[in-house]
Structure 1
Amino acid sequence: MDASQRRLTKELAMLVTEPPTGVCVDMQSASSDLRCWHVYVEGAKGTLYEGEKFTLQFRFDDQYPFSSPEVMFTGNVPVHPHIYSNGHICLSILTDDWTPALSVQTVCLSILSMLSSCKEKIRPVDNNFYVNTCNASSKKTKWYFHDDTV
């Protein structure tokens, strides 16, 4: 077992035994392929997404944790100013601000926080253009982060 697999095994165990509130990992997906997990998240109480359930797909390469996981929503994609209708998430810790000190848990918490702080359910202003021109892999996208105005 290489270092990446050891780290993923440790993180999976942590996510199963100490999941953040509203987060649950699909053990069947993770145990059949340690490099691709499905994680379920539920919108927090008192937010626009209260009671809504979403699925995040995490894909890890051989360089993890030195490279970020590829994370995207599948199925029911939340309507949010930083989430494209194809499931891609514009979140700096998934690209430029990634560090090996981060984990699947911290990514899930960041996404839940992003959902919880949303004031209006709208798609990104460039959603149609992005979805029609982007790479299938969100990790191969050059993101341009701008001030949060929503």
Structure 2
Amino acid sequence: MSFKGKRLAKEYKDLVSNQVPGITCEATDSFDTLVIQVSVLDNPLYIDDSYRLRFIFSDKYPFSPPQVQFIDKIPIHPHIYSNGHICLNILGNDWTPSQTVASISMSVQSMLASNNLNQRPPDDDNYVKHAPENPQHSSFYYHDDTV
């Protein structure tokens, strides 16, 4: 098994055995893609909703970040585009190999939990029109670091 495969097998085992409230990992056949379900327990904007994050891992993982985006239902948030792309620095320039699927999922969950604005990023329409399929090929502009 490759280093990436061993690392992801350990992360998957940890996710399943050390469950974080509001974060569950869906069963998988391979470690190239994982789907994580995220719920926010304490924000009325997202109460009774759950969202699915798709993680796609390159062979360079954990030395490069996975592609992470919302699928199916996209939460409304000033840093989440309507195509599911997430403007989050740890998924780009601030990535470190110490990040894990769990830590990314908790960061996204925390981002949702602390949000009080029911709006998309200001450039959502334009971004979605021109966005690459892979969110890692985007150059995000951080509009407001307070949300």
Same fold (TM over 0.5): yes
SS at match of 1:81: coil
Note the alpha carbon deviations across 1:36-76, whole angstroms, 9 max, x for none.
01110112224421221100000000000000011000011
Kept after mapping to 2: 8 A contact 1:47/1:117 = no
SS in 2 for 1:54: strand
Give the counterpart of 2:54 among 46, 52, 57. 57
CA contact (8 A) 1:57 1:71 kept: yes
1:116 positional shift? 0.5
Residue aligning to 2:11: 11
Retained in 1: the 8 A contact 2:43–2:114?
no
2:37 to 28, 36, 40: 40
Report the secondary structure of 2:81's partner residue.
Answer: coil
Which of residues 140, 145, 150 in structure 1 aligns to 2:142? Answer: 145
CA distance in 2, matches of 1:8, 1:61: 12
1:86 aligns with 2:83: yes
Contact kept, 8 Å, 1:22 with 1:43, in 2: the verdict is: yes
Matches of 1:120 and 1:81 in 2, distance apart?
7
Match of residue 102 from structure 2: 105
Q: Distance in 2 between matches of 1:85 and 1:137?
A: 14
Separation of aligned partners in 2, 1:62 and 1:149: 34
State the aligned residue count.
147
Provide Cα deviations, 1:83-133, integer angstroms capped at 9, x if missing partner.
Answer: 000000000000010000110110011001100010111000000000000
**SS of match in other structure, 1:131:** helix
Amino acid at match of 2:89: S
The secondary structure found in structure 2 opposite 1:15 is: helix
- Which residue pairs with 1:128 in the alignment? 125
| 8 Å Cα contact 1:19-1:105 kept in structure 2 | no
CA distance in 1, matches of 2:111, 2:44: 11
Q: TM-score, normalised by structure 1?
A: 0.94
Gaps of 5+ in 2: none
Letter in 2 for 1:14: D
